[in-house]
Amino acid sequence: MRAARLLALLVTIGLLALPMTASPASATPDHFTPHAGPTFNSPIGNTQTRRTIFRKILRSVNSAPHGSRIHFFTWNFLTREGTDALLRAQSRGVTVRIIMDAKNNSDEVPNQPFRRLKNGLRKGNKGIDRKSNLSWARTCQGSCRGKTGSAHAKFFLFSQAGKAHNVAMQGSANLTLASTNNQWNDIYTTVRNKDVYNFWLARFQEAQQDKPLKRPFASARFGATRQIMFPLAGKTRKGKTPKDPVMQLLNQVTCRRATNTANHRTTLRIAPDVIRKERGMRLAQKVRQLWQNGCNIHIGYTVVGVAIGKLLRSQSGRGPVPMKHLVQDFNGDGEFDNYFHLKAMSIVGNVGGDRGNYVVLNGSANWSGLARSSDENLGIYWNKALTLRYQDHLDYWYDNFPKSEPSDTTSNGTTGGNGTTTARRGAVDAQDTGDELVFGSGKNAVLEDGTPYSTTGVNPYAHMDSD
């Protein structure tokens, strides 16, 4: 078991390469059947490692046969290769439907790959009689299924890809090159599971209407898994206010008397990307409580609010919760060139009354107020092998995250822990007052809500406190 886990981890981080296969552009259709389970990428590996998720999605597109259906909900679609693959799929008789956040295609952000896809799908519909077989690409202003927020979900559905039917992929990765070149991401793939596939297909069909729902929060259990869709708003079918599934999971944790950890303490590995606003504070307070109760906790983050950072780093009681800032900022300008984009958590130990339990959470939702009001996908899986894969992955990058090695740290920047460099400190700890953070660099740089970041006349750190 340890050997298998080590082999999987080495492949994941790019220290061991799998045999190369034909690129998506070289074969139409491809002969690829997506495998079930987790897939990770790293932006600092070789091309294959960076594009592990990207290639899995595109090879599945290229392996979708005539008469099958593709449904993608991705916060951003920005890839020429993706456009080519989806238009080829339509030309061989596949129905293709795409939903994206409108912020990523505007006068300020002229998204040419998306526009070409939208126009190409419309032209490819000529001669198709049945409305149910029409292909299209659409955007939502804010949340598709809620009243505010954003269309932030990232899931990819194939009625058939290769020999696999009812394929559902959900996680933290958008279908963009920035997700391969600037971010650490994950997706979890389910195959031949009609219930899970239909859950996400129903959410897509709701989203394509772009109208607020009375009950936008959706949750269903299928065996040892729970599939969830935000916004975390409205009422449940029983007329109750929906509960935060992340808090529900944390509330099931007992920190001591675990039977499956060496020190009998429950182990939590948390990589939420962003911890901000009131929701982030509530979750951070719970994590702090679990730390005080004796849990073994590591947090790897991209952005944390000032007040939340002070809470988690408090010297009181057991002392600071172990945390590391998982970003690379090569020139110290406060724009994160590479950053950990997963929104995942693994728990091993005393959970839900079982002292030897294993559970992992993944998806698109940050620990933030914006996530609460946005379209977000989450999955919770009670599975030993899967949980250990995520724990190994999060442990590796927590212990081995690469240094930024900035070219200039003397003007505005100060060197922080773990070798990272931050400018004006606002890039690390934003106030919980609506100030925006910069993600990515160059033409990929965006503010937290997805709007483009311009260095001309814009200073998103002007009103941020130092930590």
pLDDT of residue 331: 82
Residue 326 has pLDDT above 70, yes or no: yes
Q: Please, what is the Cα angle at 38 between 158 and 154, to 5 degrees?
A: 50
Task: Give yes or no for a contact between 310 and 466, defined as CB atoms under 8 angstroms apart.
Answer: no
In eight-state DSSP terms, residue 336 is B
Q: What is the mean pLDDT of residues 205-228?
A: 97
Look at residue 29 and tell me whether its pLDDT is greater than 80.
no
Nearest residue to 365 (alpha-carbon basis) of 150, 198, 180, 146: 150
Average pLDDT, integer, range 428-450: 52
In the numeric block, which tokens belong to residue 455? Answer: 């260095």
For 242, what's the count of Cα atoms within 13 Å in the CB-facing half-sphere? 22
| Average predicted confidence (pLDDT) for the chain | 85
Place of tokens 């460099």: 421
Main-chain phi, psi angles of 390, to 5 degrees: -65, -40
pLDDT score, position 463: 27
CA nearest neighbour of 168 among 145, 188, 144? 188
pLDDT single digits (tens) 87-106 = 999 999 999 999 999 999 98
Q: Are strands 95-101 and 296-305 parallel, antiparallel or unpaired?
A: unpaired
Separation CA 382–CA 389 (nearest Å) = 13
3-state DSSP assignment of residue 61: helix
Residue 34 burial by CB count (10 A; 0-12/13-18/19+): exposed, middle or buried?
buried
The residue behind tokens 């409580």 is: 289
> CA triplet 455, 172, 347: central angle to 5 degrees?
125
Single-letter amino acid, residue 296: N
Lowest mean pLDDT among 14-18, 71-75, 279-283: 14-18
Rounded-to-integer distance, Cα 339 and Cα 1, Å: 30
Task: Please state, in angstroms and rounded to a whole number, the distance separating the CA atoms of residues 22 and 177.
Answer: 19
C-alpha dihedral (101, 107, 111, 112), degrees to nearest 10 = 150
The answer to whether 355 and 258 have CB atoms below 8 angstroms apart is yes
pLDDT score recorded for residue 416: 31
Asked if residue 113 has a cis previous peptide bond (ω within 30° of 0), the answer is no
CA distance 122 to 347: 46
Give helix then strand counts, H and E, for the chain: 12, 25
pTM of the complete model: 0.85
Q: What residues have CB less than 8 Å from 454, skipping those under 6 apart?
A: none
Spatial CB neighbours of 253, under 8 Å, sequence gap ≥ 6: 266, 268, 290, 295, 347, 349, 350, 351
Identity at 221, one-letter amino acid code: R
Q: Residue 462: is its pLDDT beyond 90?
A: no
How would residue 405 be classed by pLDDT, with cut points 50, 70 and 90?
Answer: low
Contact 188, 411 (CB under 8 A): no
Please work out, in degrees rounded to the nearest 5, the angle formed at the alpha carbon of residue 4 by the alpha carbons of 18 and 2.
145
CB 57 within 8 A of CB 169: yes
Q: Is the pLDDT of residue 436 over 70?
A: no
Tell me the average pLDDT across 173-180: 95
